[in-house]
Amino acid sequence: MATASSPSTPIITVPDADDESIAILERIEGKIDLSGLELRIHMGVPASDDEWIERTAGADGMLLGWHVPDAALASTDRLKVISYLGTGASDHVNLGLAADRGMEVLTVSGYGDDAVAEHAAALMMAAVRSVPQLDRAVRAGEWPSASSWQIRGRRLGVVGLGGIGRRMVEIGRGLGMDVVAWNRSAESGATEIDGIPLLPMSELFATSDAVSLHVPLNEHTRGLVGEQLLRSMKPDAVLVNTARGAVVDEEALLRVLDDGAIRAAALDVFGSEPLAGDSRLRDHERAIVTPHVAFNTTDASERLFIIALQNLVDFFSAKG
């Protein structure tokens, strides 16, 4: 990667690298011009505040993959910018403290739209066709019969029309589904956006054969999907969540699954992650679970690093 070309070259610390991030950095070398930066790469998440402070010392910028403690931000007067590898920097950086210290926090959006939507579609189809359950049965020596419904002609309800939700609309239409959506403008009476029919949340849940969630987690969406909405779904419907776990009331979802009120829930995100060892979602016959990997494709990971690094290049270029 880049090396220092002069004493004035901005120093970028990568405080929490792992083997995967090193491999990505090697793959994207040549795809982005980092000649104006010096990267100082440290392996593994720092084990203590002191180690964080040591890795931050002398750095002008930071490429951050996870959580940075307040002690590291408070210890340096040199750090000017943090480029976070993702969208949810507020969960991992004390934005107020960073602002007080004169640091800019940059994020990356849109890098995983295709990846997350494709995973949501895969979860939807796996739930409709009972793929995990049938796989387990055959491996156990069984040869069960299982009925399901076809995707074509069924209704897909997409909750949230950001980049991922809009890509999910495209995929659903490509599969021959009748796609409807909800976003906040639907609550104000809007009936269409960019050719996508909008429905009130209650109608979307009640009339869709599959509901896929694609909203951010905030004060408006925490607990958005509760027991009333879940019980309004068709008995053979499936719920897909690749958004954030806390968007769904998990205990209410378990009660609905216990009662067999819907066909299945296919989840990549959970209220607490990693999913607790005693969580009933782990072995519930109506739940399909994956470990928050919807975003994690080679293409999306490379795009994430390229944009995050370009943010740093642009920041220091603008500073002259």
DSSP-derived secondary structure letter, 174? H
Measured on CA atoms in the order 40, 43, 45, 47, is the torsion positive or negative?
A: negative
Long-range contacts at 145-153 (CB < 8 A, ≥ 24 apart): 149/209, 149/236, 151/124, 151/125, 151/175, 151/176, 151/177, 152/176, 152/177, 153/177, 153/178
Catalytic residue among 173, 273, 280, 285: 273
How far is Cα 193 from Cα 195, in angstroms, rounded to an integer?
Answer: 5
Q: What φ, ψ does residue 3 adopt, rounded to 5°?
A: -125, 160
Catalytic residue among 244, 263, 286, 303: 244
Residue 244 known to be catalytic: yes
Residue 292 known to be catalytic: yes
Catalytic residue among 40, 129, 231, 292: 292
Report how far Cα 113 is from the mean position of its chain's Cα atoms. 9
Q: What would the DSSP string read from start to end of 272-311?
A: SSSPPTT-GGGT-TTEEE--S-TT--HHHHHHHHHHHHHH
Q: What would the DSSP string read from start to end of 53-65?
A: HHHHTT-SEEEES
> Which residue do the tokens 């939807």 mark?
124
Residue 222 known to be catalytic: no
Give the burial class of 116: count Cβ atoms within 10 A of its Cβ; 0-12 exposed, 13-18 middle, 19 or more buried: buried
Report the catalytic residues: 244, 273, 292
